Amino acid sequence: MTFPVDETHLAFADRLADAAGAVARRYFRQKLAVDDKADTSPVTVADREAEAAMRALIAAEYPEHGIFGEEHGAERIDAELVWVLDPIDGTKSFISGVPLFGTLIALLHRGWPVLGIIDQPISHERWHGLAGHPSTLNGAPIRTRGCERLAAATLFAGSPDQFRGSKDEAAYRRLVGSVKLTRYNGDCYAYGLLAAGFIDVVCEAGLKPYDFCAVLPVIEGAGGIMTGWDGKKLRLDSGGHVVAAGDRRAHEAALKVLAG
């Protein structure tokens, strides 16, 4: 299958990441006011300014494209091509001075993620994913690693509090009990580590499209797989329960454990 998305769009996405990263670096480890959204998640001037900078570039270069951003909402999301933006994925890390946050930039074709960037502006690490092309980290090709058995896997997940008391808690605890090592709170950086072959599985729930759309092309282009807990391919209107793995055998096993 071919898409009307190519290296020209990827180069433009790099410009978006550069603009957002400049804002993030200016505010990182500074004294900032932190506001609470309706869902109690934190937001700062850095989140808002970084997204505004990216949206301004898109409006100037591709005014016909749609935009779905975490901080400034949706425009023309029925367009054939839609940018999905998370200016600072991991705001809790950002406001704590922890450089595990990142900027997530996706381009969707008819709702399907076909281009993605994970950018860590403090460590200057940037992952590229483009449908039909190998994924890269700072320009070098990357591959996920093999992991046949969950018992040998390293799992990254959100905070354990994410599942406590929810209908998903039992499924999550089964998965944690099935792997060798579990780590928490990696934000989007965990998906970059998976794509680069350092960990094996990432499992999260309650995500929004701007949390997962950008990482999917990166993982797929590195040889991995990322779906919903139901095994269905992710798109703009998917639910927020996701599981990613570098090895299809580990992914299949994780889905079975989650399903009970």
> What would the pLDDT profile of 198-222 be if each residue is shown by its tens digit?
999 999 998 999 999 999 999 999 9
Q: Do residues 130 and 81 lie in contact, with contact meaning Cβ atoms separated by under 8 Å? A: no
Mean pLDDT within 172-189: 94
SS3 9: helix
Mean pLDDT within 166-178: 92
Domain with CATH 3.30.540.10 in the chain: 7-141
| Calpha distance 125→247 (Å, rounded) | 23
CATH 3.40.50.2300: does it fit domain 7-141? no
Answer CATH for 150-259 from 3.50.50.60, 3.40.190.80, 3.40.1360.10, 3.40.50.920: 3.40.190.80
Q: Residue written as tokens 């425009």?
A: 75
pLDDT of residue 2: 57
Residue 162: pLDDT over 80: no
Q: Do residues 33 and 43 lie in contact, with contact meaning Cβ atoms separated by under 8 Å? A: no
